[in-house]
Amino acid sequence: MEFQKKDKIFINGSWVSASTEDTIDVTNSATEEVVATIPACNADDVDKAVSAAKDAFEQWSNLSVETRSSYLTKITEGITARSAELANTIATEVGTPLNLASLVQVGLPTMDFATMPQVLSEFSFEEKISSSLVLKEPVGVVGAITPWNYPLHQICAKVAPALAAGCTVVVKPSVVAPLNAYILTEIIQQAGLPQGVFNMVTGSGTVVGEAIVTHPSVDMVSFTGSTRAGKRIAELASRDIKRVALELGGKSACIILDDVELSRAVASGISMCFLNSGQTCVALTRMLVPRSKLTEVEELAVKEAETYTPGDPFADSTRLGPLVSAQQLLSVRGYIQKGIDEGAKLLTGGTDLPDGIEKGYFVRPTVFSEVSNDMTIAREEIFGPVLSIIPYDSEDDAVAIANDSQYGLSGAVWASDNERAIRVAKRIRTGQLDLNGAMFNPMAPFGGYKQSGYGRELGRYGLEEYLEIKSLQM
């Protein structure tokens, strides 16, 4: 990728200069080279963007559902037309292997927009309850603050339903992976949305993010990121009783019951732990297995983990890209060392660079066994390709271990039949679970329990997050 100097932000339908000349570097995580700079905006830029969104709200919210759907369809077509460019961009700034970037990093955002017209066609914004007419109306100006791990998807999962609901938006993409947001903004501009409906401001969370959250004309904030940052956003937003949706951390458990064929379950569990180099909020980082089958699971897990070849995201042989930054690499290595120090059994991986790699933020795919659920690696979100295998003694024990977490975002259950899997899944306090390797459903609600946040994204439930309810007594 040639060096890109991004010196504009998008406000009120136009590319404009930021209020400051300060910039932020964007780094290629595989080569450690700076590949771009973006504006480091401030509260003045946020104020201009929010003012534009506020001014545009009445017109946009009063357009017909069919008209808003047509804009969403144009954006879908634009993402599809530039999918190769988007995949290459995300592979560069995040480090996701190119084939996975195409399939997931671009595939999911495409579906975020593509599914909304269908949701709108089936959704009723009015309901008669006896003598009352209940209206569902757009919440207003939405501030969307998004992370770097699935950067385009996390923007689209907020913007698509917000626009569908009739809201206007101000987006702050991650400064670590912002280049894909520039492409999306160009696509939205080309789709011809009215001025001010969509705005994008770049900059740090402490400056731009907090300015969005505290702006009096922002009616709702939707945030995806760390639980620590989510707590800060909830605290700031509470001062104005502002609507907030939070999708935060996870430490999800993959429960493998005693009546399943292990090889498929273990391979699937490893895949869902190492996806995107483990930089996935729903990563299945705790594998719970019957104690009697621990040795067999260990052998299968090592064999499978060692097939995840770290390397250049653009090489066909690569199954594991780099971590996103030097800071993330330092953090993950620290967790691996913590696991060793606390007595977990290291089966494969470790803190050293992978063989043959001298540059880039790479870490070895790592598997620990004989992990107890009170160890740091079993309790804290590592955000790297690190699996903890935890033995259990009974089904009740497995459920108790799975629920013994501050998080409740995702999980998985493997059983000989769906009936048993459903019975166990109903006991797990988490927002979603995959049963026997079932595929992700982009129309099903996504979100968490406990410190994984509140609110739901995707499909009808995602649309409803951006609606207020009004009752007319007649």
The residues carrying an active-site annotation are 247, 281
Hey, which residues does 330 pair with through a beta bridge? none
Hey, which residues does 26 pair with through a beta bridge? 36
Q: Are 169 and 197 in contact (CB under 8 A)?
A: yes
CA distance 432 to 444: 9
Please say whether the dihedral angle defined by the alpha carbons of residues 82, 83, 88 and 89, taken in this order, is positive or negative. positive
Q: Are 454 and 246 in contact (CB under 8 A)?
A: yes
Could you tell me which residues come within 8 angstroms of residue 95 by beta carbon, excluding any fewer than 6 positions away?
29, 30, 277, 313, 321, 322, 323, 324, 360, 361
Hey, which residues does 414 pair with through a beta bridge? 256
Q: Are 161 and 443 in contact (CB under 8 A)?
A: no
What's the count of helices (H) and strands (E) in the chain, helices before strands? 17, 23
Bridge-based pairing state of the strands 411-414 and 253-256: parallel
368: closest CA among 359, 381, 377? 377
12: closest CA among 211, 197, 173? 197
User: Burial letters for 135-149: b for 16+ Cβ neighbours within 10 Å, e otherwise?
Assistant: ebebbbbbbbbbbbb
User: Burial letters for 366-397: b for 16+ Cβ neighbours within 10 Å, e otherwise?
Assistant: bbbbbbebebbbbebbbbbbbbbbbbbeebee
Tokens of 415: 């059983």
Bridge-based pairing state of the strands 467-473 and 126-129: unpaired
